[in-house]
């Protein structure tokens, strides 16, 4: 019996070996570096410093600010923005005609397939002090401002919503198409309004899709780097510096590879905590 189980696992062995080689090996090396004082320049050899990098991080106001901004950016652009807007668009497109679905879906997916750097330049041109947004506000005789200076976190959050909503829309479109029409028709015949049908029928039936989408969106948003770097570079004064940008600054601008890697591990821990919460919610019965 045990031999048969091993034979069934044999076809998976090449994939497992590749994962251990290209994922497990670098991850283990990064864990080791996080406990050293490795630097890019000015140091002949690195030495083991234990938890010093982590103690330095939690005593660093810039790191704590980056943690806070990362949570704000993730909540605004992923949990609220992409998730909610994707669900609304999927619901509207389900009831729209085929030409409208095709046109709208094409426009939204186009934003999703754009490279992150290209999307960053487009949104930078939209939000800059002489950009598209202020030009439109001027035509409407409304006050304009430098959005990338006054509200940088909101600007980059909107940019991430604009770029990433298509993924949520596609996930929810597939989930909504799996809901039997008979169930919704029966609820409508019983006198349930649109909001009651959505709350008591639609959302519970796509609960697992919501949890999966939230988990994937959150992990993707936590790792956003190019979009923010192109638009604000974490400024002004660190007001949009999330953990990926803080990690890059410490590791490659300040040459503190050990400290930057420790920050990267802490970012990995944040993503793991989000994943654990979502997985527990997925196992919870409604």
H/E segment holding residue 76: none
* Residue 193: pLDDT over 80: no
Question: Which among 75, 76, 66 is positioned nearest to 243, based on CA atoms?
Answer: 66
Q: Domain residues for 78?
A: 46-283
Q: Give residue 286's pLDDT band: very low, low, confident or very high (50, 70, 90).
A: very low
In a domain, 219, yes or no: yes
CATH number, domain with residue 263: 1.10.3720.10
Residue 93 confidence (pLDDT) = 85
Q: How many residues does the chain have?
A: 286
In a domain, 210, yes or no: yes
* Residue 6: pLDDT over 70: no
What confidence tens digit (pLDDT) does each residue in 242-285 have?
999 999 999 999 989 999 999 999 998 888 888 888 877 777 65
| DSSP per-residue string spanning 135-160 | HHHHHTT-----HHHHSHHHHHHHHH
What confidence tens digit (pLDDT) does each residue in 102-133 have?
888 788 888 888 888 899 999 999 998 888 89
Q: What is the CA radius of gyration of the chain?
A: 23
Residue 2 confidence (pLDDT) = 58
Query: Is the preceding omega at residue 149 within 30 degrees of 0, hence cis?
Result: no
How much is the mean pLDDT over the chain?
Answer: 85
Rounded CA gap, 6 and 124, in Å?
54
Instruction: State whether the Cα torsion 17-213-66-115 is positive or negative.
Output: positive
In a domain, 151, yes or no: yes
Number of domains comprising the chain? 1
In a domain, 11, yes or no: no
Stretch 70-76: mean pLDDT: 93
Rounded CA gap, 151 and 154, in Å?
6
In a domain, 13, yes or no: no
* Residue 66: pLDDT over 90: yes
What confidence tens digit (pLDDT) does each residue in 9-55 have?
677 778 878 877 888 888 888 899 999 998 887 776 788 998 999 99
In a domain, 106, yes or no: yes
Rounded CA gap, 212 and 218, in Å?
10
Please report how many Cα atoms fall inside a 13 Å half-sphere around the Cα of residue 217, on the Cβ side: 34
Predicted TM-score (pTM) of the model is: 0.86
In a domain, 56, yes or no: yes
Rounded CA gap, 112 and 90, in Å?
15
In a domain, 16, yes or no: no
């Amino acid at each position: 019996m045990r031999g048969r189980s091993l034979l069934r696992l044999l076809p998976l062995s090449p994939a497992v070996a590749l994962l251990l080689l290209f994922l497990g090996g670098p991850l283990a090396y990064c864990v080791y570096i996080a406990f050293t004082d490795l630097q890019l320049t000015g140091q002949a050899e690195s030495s083991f410093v234990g938890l010093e990098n982590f103690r330095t991080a939690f005593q660093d106001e810039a790191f704590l600010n980056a943690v806070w901004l990362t949570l704000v950016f993730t909540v605004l652009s992923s949990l609220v923005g992409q998730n909610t807007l994707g669900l609304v668009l999927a619901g509207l497109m389900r009831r729209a005609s085929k030409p409208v679905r095709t046109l709208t879906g094409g426009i939204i997916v186009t934003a999703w397939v754009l490279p992150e750097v290209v999307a960053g330049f487009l949104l930078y041109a939209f939000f800059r002090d002489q950009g598209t947004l202020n030009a439109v506000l001027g035509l409407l005789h409304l006050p304009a401002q430098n959005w990338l200076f006054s509200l940088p976190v909101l600007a980059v959050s909107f940019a991430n919503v604009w770029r990433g909503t298509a993924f949520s829309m596609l996930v929810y479109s597939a989930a909504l198409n799996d809901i039997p029409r008979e169930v919704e028709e029966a609820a409508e015949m019983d006198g349930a309004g649109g909001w009651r049908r959505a709350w008591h029928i639609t959302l519970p039936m796509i609960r697992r899709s919501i949890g999966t989408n939230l988990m994937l969106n959150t992990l993707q948003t936590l790792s956003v780097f190019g979009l923010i770097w192109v638009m604000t570079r974490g400024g002004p004064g660190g007001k949009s510096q999330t953990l990926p940008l803080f990690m890059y600054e410490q590791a490659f601008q300040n040459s503190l590879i050990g400290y930057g890697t420790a920050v990267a591990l802490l970012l990995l821990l944040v993503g793991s905590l989000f994943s654990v919460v979502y997985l527990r919610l997925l196992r919870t019965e409604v």
